[in-house]
Structure 1
Amino acid sequence: MPQKQLTLELLTAEIKRLHQENQLLQQELLIQKTQTQLLQKQIGAPTPESSQQAYLTNLPSGPEEQSNRNEEMNAIEEELRQSLEHTLELNEKIATSEAQYRLISESMRDMICLHDLEGIYTYVTPSSKNLVGYEPEELLGKNPYDYFHPEDIEKIRVTSHNKTRQGLADTIVEYRFRHKKGHYVWLETVTEALRNENNEIYGLHTASRDISQRKQVEKERDNFFNYSIDILTIIDYEGKIIRANFAWEYILGFPVKETEGNFIYDFIHPEDVNKTLAILSQHKQEADVTIDFETRYLCKDGNYRWVSWNYVPFPSENLVYGFGRDITQLKLSEEAARLAQFSIDHASDSVFWIGPDASILRVNKTACLLLGYTEEEMLRMKVADTDPNYSEEVWPEHWQELREKKNMIFESAHRTKDGTIRPTEVSVNYFQYNGKEYNFAFARDITERKQAEERLQFNSLILSRVNDAIVGVDQQYNINYWSESAERQYGLSAADVLEKPLSTAYTFEWLHPEDEQHMATSLAQKGYCKFEVRQTLYNGKKLFAEMVVQQMTDLFGKNMGLFAIIHDITERKQAEQQLLERETMLEIIFNESTDALFLVESESGKIIKCNNKAIEFFEADSEEELKGKFGPSFHKHPFTEQHMQDKVETILREGEWSSEIEYISLKGNEFWGAIKVKYINIVESQYQLVRIADITSRKQAQADLLRYAQRSINILESVTDAMFTVDHNWCFTYFNKEAEIMTKMNRSELLQKNMWNIFSDALGADFFEQCHLALSQHTDVHFEGYSPPLQLWFEAHIYPFEEGLSIYLRNINERKASEKAILESEEKFRTLTIQSPVGILTTTPDGFCTWTNPRLQEIAGYTFEESLGDGWAGFIHQDDVERIVEEWKNNAQSGLSTVSEYRFVHKNGNIRWVRGTTNPVLSDTGEHIGHVGTVEDITERREAEEKLRSALEELKKRNHELDNYVYKVSHDLRAPLTSIMGLVNLIKIETDPNTIRHYIDLIENRVIKSDQFIHSILSHSKILNSQVQINRVDFQSIILDSFDQLKYMPHSDRLQVHILIQGPAEFWSDVFRIDIILKNFISNAIKYMNLLQQENFVHFNISITQKEGIIEIKDNGLGIDKQYQPKIFDMFFRATEKADGSGLGLYIVKQTIERMGGSIHIESEIGQGTTFTITLPNLIQKKPGVIGQ
């Protein structure tokens, strides 16, 4: 136990002993006094009235009785003397005890007090003055609860006084006591019960000491423990947490109440528990060992963090004090350093450490593989050995430049071990380490990039020649892009249509109604679609167009509008219409054919379509009666399986099968038919085309030969390719219908004519060479070519045969156009993005930037290289970046577009508002492959919107003032009129002339007030609407004239006007407005004079400079209450109901001053007067003239 605590307890025990001894002595003295009183009663107390009678009465009757009486008196006197001596002795002991008690208590620094059972102070030692600032007399009779801190009262009542009064035990309690100076001091008080001889409690004894310093130390200790940035923990040797600080919560996420009482193992990574157990066991065995170790701790969110611990044992308490520091970041940094070294060693770029003398100090594996040297060979080389651009003569200049710039990026070339020169992009970085200079260089092989750039240039050239119109629209279908080809196609320039609705150029209707829904679905799923429409141009012209529509999205997948490539297919549609007409004709021919025609399924042999002649031949009622029938079922002589197999083999071998067959119709009639069967492909399905000619009446051989020739011609005519044959003299021997269509020539005019005479332009061309090759070498030839006269891309198949060549040509214009359109589209997209007025960027699915256009680089102020990777996030203002990235991530996961407005921080520090849009990019298979985003600078728009909002707020305010103004004016105009009307009615019924004259005076007064009010309104209107007329201002004349004009006002003669004008300059401003201002103040000074005063005045103190004029107007009138001063410039405000003004005066004054560019200030006290200070600009530099409102 501390020495100080021991001393306090000894002193307290001594005081208690003295107090108890004092009580016993006082009790004994009380007994003695009582006994003395009893003796006195026994002998009787003599009184003056009865002394003589008593003496006579008590006289002894004889000598013996007298003697006995004397002895008895002597005995009583002796007893009284002894009792008195004992009493004096007791009083002396009491005085000594009390002196000792007071000496001890008054010499103590602690405060000793006695209390009754209610706690009231009955005794207080003088140390109370030093301890709590009160003299003992100030506390006597007071309840100590009046001085306790409100938060400690219940604790004291429960833990101290109640228990002590109940005699349960002595208590010690710590609490705050209000010092006389108002602050609180911490006291530690020991309370015990005082008992009498019957062991009954009759009071309380308290001993209090000041523990404020100890509490401060404890608070600082607790603050250190609780608020340390390190994890502080006290545990026992079993691992139970006795105490934990707040770092557990903000580092690991566990509140203190969730840690204390639990075991430390509950929070340790399972792999580290045994290590911690071993450490605690070691502490138990080696109590003086301090151990440092690292382990992983569980966070409340499920993660783990690394903590470095220092365990210090306290054997006397069987506790271990743990000091833990979060080293997770250090661990991550170490891991990052290892990863960085690994990344450098395995980087895809070559990495070099180079010294000032161009020697290679270190290289990674990639550099060795790229250049073909071993690492040992590289370390013996210099830069000039691998880079021919940096010889020993050039190197010093390069090193000096690098030393100044610190880092550079440039393109160079590396020479490999076999002598190959490879283009390289080099990034060099200058740094110093341990006083030495180094160059840390990255080299990237850009051979493929160079090839890609050449390809890109070629693609750009191709795209620049695109003929299809390219049109872009926003989400409201306003045109935001109009290509040169669109200008040619539609006859409108970009200036005519940009930012205007699409209907300005054309409207369109769907050729296929289902395409509208298809477009919406395809755009939503794939981001693009293709369809055909009929357009009506602005001039009424109509055309057909094939449109490929691509959805435009920003960086976050937000829809920004549509981008369309429009191909004019009017000619194709016209050709399709002609084809449809021809198909109709063919259908007619099909049905009007003299032969029966069937379309038969190849596998089943069932009829799926037939013509009218087939219905006629087989005597059916309709086509439906023949559909689904098995063709050979009509044969009179059914085919055997061998016949069927031979038929198929013949078709496969020869392309068709023909025969003459006898048929039986549905009605049983027989006829002969010449059948011809061939396979045809429709879309992706194969069918049999069966033709049956009625040959019942023609069985002659000539007829058979003729039919065979006709069948051959029909086969050639049915092919979709242009086909013709030439003999060895290059003369046409056959020319099919499709060839006529392709060449636009009549075959009757071509047969037996020389092909090279007809197509002389082909002489020497590829077609000419290929035909000669096929004929001379008797080999099949297949190639593609282009015919300028026919404006036709064709695919040619040339087959030699005995009589010459058969040539098949297929029109591949559409395929070539598609290929060209794709190339042009790619180049056009690059061109558009480079020239785009908005910033554009592309990223990978996880947001890694892969490309930005020049506009985005201009908005952000960063180079192309700086904007790549995660660089784009650095453009965004730090207050917006978390929100934008979160929105992008949420929408990216859902495949949605994102549109946001946020701030861009330019590289120079300027802040610009932008509107960013991001859309996901999907592959043909629907896979998410990245994002494309746009960034539009909307700073001017935001500023304009802010100005518009301010203007609207101002307009609302003005409208409200106008409504209030109209209401007040109408009310104040009607009030005197109503009063006048009432007086007029009174005059009508009044007969007394004096009364009538009084009413007329009242009417005159109302009329004057109305006139004054109307004059105020007119002044206000004139001030609002008139222009500022600049003239020299004569303040003295204006003030005196105004005073003269107001002399009609009551008591105006009692007002003294004083004018003081100072300053070297003249004052130029609007005289009319200044006259209104000063007249209002003179009028108010007259109205609100203090008539109880002997003197009433108004002072005009005017100070003029070249810049401004300051007018101070001071009166000693009634003054204005401070609660009304903020409102006195409001329209129609009157500070008192006694005021007879319009309430417009000071409102007009302030409005006038503000319109003149000035300000006004008021100071006023009730009964003291009012001072107005007006500041107006001096317009001397603009004299004379007019300034518009």
Structure 2
Amino acid sequence: MQQTITQKTQELSVANQRLQQEISERKLIATKLNSFTQQVDTIFESLPDIVLIINEEKNIQIAPTKAISWNVDDTNLLDLMIQEFFHEDTEETWFALARQVLETQETTNFDYSLRINEQEIWFSAKISPFTESSVVWVARDITARQQAEEALRESEERYRELFEKSADGIVFTDIEGRFLNCNASYQRMLGYSLLELQQKTFSEITPSKWHSMEAEIVEKQIIAKGYTDTYKKEYIRKDGTVFPIEISAYCQKNQAGQPERMWAIVRDISDAVAAATQRQLAEQETHLLLSTTQAITHAGDIKSALGSILGLICQYIGWDFAEAWIPAADGTLKYTTHWCKTPHEPSFTTKDKSFICDSRLRSDFGAVRLNSESLPHVEADSRLSRQYFNTFEAFRQASETFAFAPGVGLPGRIWSSKQPEWMGDIADTTDPIFYRTQLAINAGLRAGFGVPIVDNNQVLAVMVFFKCSPSVRQWRVVELVSAIAAQLSALIGRKQAEQALQASQRRYQTLIEASPVFIFHADASGNCVYANQRMSELLGISVEESLNSGWASSLHPDDRDRIFTQWSETVAAKEPFKSEYRFLRPDGKVTWVIGQGLPEKGPDGEVIGYIGTITDISDRKQAEAALRDSEQRYRMLFESMD
């Protein structure tokens, strides 16, 4: 009996030791679980999106993302969004979306905006099934995208208005001369419809005596230089009558730099004797508008664009010096860039398309680079040229030290009033009307005027122009420059929005690459379109090797068929993908993971791919295995005691 008691005591002691060991192992598992929870919380805190969990009882849980502390004008956006869920005007609509997702078990998107004072913040929400009775509402700020799209729409409307309402014909052809598109003026000019023209080439509506000349122009000017000098020829109308036209043609190249198509501005000059001057001005202004628009569109930044625009306008109106002032963060106008005309600067005419200075004279911001090395070599009056540059350079350097408050000085008054202003003779102007009177006189500048660039009642920039002789107010010049400023305001606003959007996209891409989570984007066939660096580290292969079907080579052979089958079934059902499986790295290491992805659907509702994450659950799997072993040992122990 005593021997039996001793034996049982020893067995209980061993069992107790094992129990203590298992308790320690469970504590370790709990510690790891707590660490994983903290990592998840850290990931949530770094997310820029608002994430809400909404159930059928209209209870809302807030995920602890970075957006919790998002304030605009001292108003918390998250609080404002929660209020909208229970506002009488929006409550039914917003919760109806959640009910719809629960009923259909399909993700839906919803764009909406929140207004704070005069500012409108736009969001794009993706609402997805979360549990059987709740959905997850992920809202992302798309204000910059909305503004860029709105600015683009306004710009395109202006382009369409210019295209359709232009008195001149505007026509587009392929590089072989086959018609692609043209405006109504061009169709009326020839008597053909657009469909009829699209069956022809420009040679077919041109008398044969002009064919050889035009072929040479296409080869030596359009293809070689990218544009033609304005030239004259004749057209044949649909009724057979021949009439004279004046044409300026341009070449558009593809990304490879190869000629792709041509476009031209065509004018009927049958009444040229009576209206030659007016038509010439209209054509030049059309070129100016197109050129300034292109300068904004293709410029790398606002400073570069303004520098080019100042040069284009100065050369067209025949003025000598221009500068741009932009509102700064400290509430003043700061000198940004300038342009000045050399004594030998070509004029802006239809016979000379050299709209901007020689590139050797231009700085990175589109302004003339003023130094002795960059002066053109003109033997006849090189001393005059050097003196001309030096006086403008002194004026520029001094102007860079000025900063104008609203209502102060010429730029400040234009900023404040949002209206153009003219100075006929700077010599008769004193402080506080113009604080740089003596500097301007020393530079030989006598007349000046300024025009604001305004978008949504906000001044984006102030352009100021100077001339070396006194000048009475030229209404046509002011109206033309004001029209250009109005045309450019939306384009500048759009470029600012685009730059903000690009910066946001770069930040988002950086976040994805820096994320500790394994992130992937695959098409419906399971081919990997994108994987971040963490994904590559998990698989033990490079990012490039993991793309397309390369990732599948890392699937554990015992899991491969199951995962492929499950993927196909999930795509067919248009449901979220979720599965646990193993990866086998090239070095032999086996890693347990859980893969989760949400379907990405096309316009027709079909699944075109999945975006998701892969989480390493090896520690959990090891803990579960250890727990199963421990429970089995307990059962065996107690069974033996019985």
TM over 0.5: no
* Greater C-alpha radius of gyration: 1
TM-score normalized by the length of structure 1: 0.20
TM-score normalized by the length of structure 2: 0.34
